[in-house]
Amino acid sequence: MRPEDPELEHETRTGLPSLVLAALGVVYGDIGTSPLYAFREALHATGEAGSNREDVLGVLSLIVWALTIVVTLKYVCFVLRADNRGEGGTLSLMSLARESLAGRPAWVLILGVVGASLFLGDAIITPAISVLSAVEGIEIVTPAMSDWVVPITLTIIAALFFVQRFGTGGVASVFGPITALWFLVLGASGALHIFDDPSVFSAISPLHALSYVVNNAGSAIVVLGAVFLAVTGAEALYVDLGHFGRRPIVVAWFALVFPSLLLNYFGQGAFVLAHPEMAAHPFFNMHPEWARLPIVCLATAATVIASQAVISGAYSLVRQAMHLNLLPRLEILHTSETHSGQIFMPQVNFLLFVCVAALVIFFQSSSGLSAAYGIAVTGEMLITSILLFVVMRRVWNWGLIGTAAIIVPLTLIDAGFLAANFAKFAQGGWVPVAVASGMVLIMQTWTSGRRLLASRTKADEIPLSSIIGSLERKTPPTVPGTAIFLTSDVEGAPTALLHSLKHYKVLHEHNVILSVVTATKPFVADEERIFFESFNPLFSRVVITFGYMETPNIPRALVLVRKLGFKFDIMSTSFFLSRRTILPSKVGGMPFWQDRLFIALSRNASTATDYFGLPTGRVVELGLQTVI
């Protein structure tokens, strides 16, 4: 059961200071590594490489106001308030918006699917660019080791994905302190170099940003695409809302993260103004030689933490999509006995590792990867703005003028950043678009295939009432025990029941028709979880409802049925399932290639026995063939 006030639950369980420290390691790892490359790439995009004072101040002003408007105003002030029973993320926001609209329109679902797919595109780029950008500091410390940057990066990434199977509980305890140290170092190193040219503070004025865009119309679009790198990771504030609650995330941002980022960017700006010849790698160059190797090591640790947060976010997102029936069931291994959110998904982990390693090998440098970074994040942010508009109007009941006054400017900014990043499509921007398109295709194929399969199955099914009626008139021999027949259709007779009667010609003394449904909210209270009705002494129906953030466990949920008067012994209960062999159809339905894709997804899905936590020794599977 989920408490009514998620904020109180989080803070009562562990305390605000501890949550703030933990949030630093999980929520802000990604945006915290942006100073490694954001200012450098934006500066190089101007074409002057730091030699023009107005260009430096213009880029710095753009970064400052991007952080202020996109992260502070949009996410901290508004998006974090749009929680779905304490949970955040694209799919949570999609569920919240869709529930508020009559008829639950499909376009909201499509936006959610596209947003989730773009996040997965971002999830393969973040580990690659973050770790590469940190390891590249070796080139500054020891130029002779330049050829080792890619092998070292691949080794770190391989180790990172390998340890996922052991869980992150123990390692996570040090994530917060290391990230806190990282932000303190960012702030201190930046503050020291502000004295190189204190006039850098004039970049606080938005006039420098506007002036640069107006006076450099030709290059401004490319520069904006690079400036956006400074706010990548802002979505993590919302994605991880359910882990920490809003207050710790907000406190961490204003108390440490935002000031440290600003100080570091101002310090880099002042350093470049004073030493334009060292603008190639301002972050590493502005540290004294004795400190560069420790900084490279600390930066590498910070980027590993940022990558870990994104990987964990990908697991969580895929699990949500599975429970919302947008993806097939995949194997989920729980790595913690006390925290249900700590999971490991072998198939997802392997695919992420292959994609991340391929990006590192293909692009070779963080500068090359920076072109691929922005489209996924800007697209997801734009979708968040659109869904937030629906929530403001329908859930918060805001007026149209007030809502538009906030959302329209934010949407225009998101659209501008998206357009700027699309300018880098040929240089690498196609990567997240290809990944997101592939995920959309898989989700669309799975949902369409399931719908088609359900219609084919329903056409062959007999109404449950008819079966019960005929069995009352002529009851076959009964055997002791309870039989539970799983079905996704709460109205029709389960195929497993029909096949059991056909082959065994007996009934158990208690027969339960069991359906599992997923709610559009993340958690369901125990008192709302079970629907139970008894048709006669032989037959009953149970509908179990799980939230999309919960792990379905049928035996555990059935314990609640006993409170409603239904008595059974799990050791004398048999679970009957239908195992379908799906065959492609030559006419109607989906295209032949999409039929094949759906069949492949079905074959690679985990079994209902594993997914629902059924005792393997009590499961009977009855096979049948279905043409879709």
Q: Where are the alpha helices (DSSP H) in 6-45?
A: 6-14, 16-26, 29-32, 38-45
* CB proximity list for 289: less than 8 A, separation 6 or greater: none
Asked if 440 and 482 sit in the same domain, the reply is: no
Secondary structure class of 406 (helix, strand, coil): helix
Q: Do residues 307 and 126 make contact, with C-beta atoms less than 8 angstroms apart?
A: yes
Q: Do residues 82 and 96 make contact, with C-beta atoms less than 8 angstroms apart?
A: yes
Q: Is residue 452 part of a domain?
A: no
Where is the domain boundary, 409, 424, 447? Answer: 447
Asked if 184 and 319 sit in the same domain, the reply is: yes
Q: Which residue has the tokens 């996040």?
A: 119
Question: pTM (2 decimals)?
Answer: 0.82
Give the β-pairing of 478-486 and 573-583: parallel
Q: What is the pLDDT of residue 428?
A: 80
Asked if 401 and 472 sit in the same domain, the reply is: no
Q: Is residue 4 part of a domain?
A: no
Where is the domain boundary, 447, 471, 491? Answer: 447
Asked if 425 and 497 sit in the same domain, the reply is: no
For 424-438, write each residue's pLDDT tens digit: 788 888 888 888 889
- Domain count for the chain, please give it: 2
Nearest alpha carbon to residue 608 among 510, 475, 515: 515
pLDDT at 292 over 90: no
Q: What is the pLDDT of residue 3?
A: 41
Tokens (6 digits) for 214? 């107006």
Q: Kind and range of the H or E element at 594?
A: helix 592-604
Q: Is residue 7 part of a domain?
A: no
For 111-134, write each residue's pLDDT tens digit: 888 888 888 888 888 888 888 888
Residue 626: CB atoms within 10 Å: 16
Asked if 520 and 388 sit in the same domain, the reply is: no
Label residue 340 by pLDDT band (50, 70, 90).
low
Where is the domain boundary, 419, 447, 475? Answer: 447
pLDDT at 339 over 60: no
Label residue 174 by pLDDT band (50, 70, 90).
confident
Q: List the domain range (segments joined by +) for residue 524.
A: 462-627
Q: What is the pLDDT of residue 1?
A: 39
Asked if 531 and 383 sit in the same domain, the reply is: no
Residue 42: CB atoms within 10 Å: 28
Query: Residue length, the chain?
Result: 628
For 574-598, write each residue's pLDDT tens digit: 898 887 777 777 666 778 888 888 8
Asked if 315 and 373 sit in the same domain, the reply is: yes
Asked if 407 and 532 sit in the same domain, the reply is: no
Nearest alpha carbon to residue 259 among 64, 26, 76, 30: 64
Q: What is the largest CA-CA distance in the chain?
A: 95
Secondary structure class of 216 (helix, strand, coil): coil
* CB proximity list for 350: less than 8 A, separation 6 or greater: none
Q: What is the pLDDT of residue 616?
A: 82
Q: Is residue 618 part of a domain?
A: yes
Radius of gyration, alpha carbons of the chain: 27
Stretch 18-34: mean pLDDT, rounded?
A: 84
Asked if 193 and 291 sit in the same domain, the reply is: yes
Query: Which residues make beta-bridge pairs with 623?
Result: 579
Q: Is residue 216 part of a domain?
A: yes
Q: What phi and psi, each to the nearest 5 degrees, are found at residue 451?
A: -65, -40
Q: Is residue 9 part of a domain?
A: no
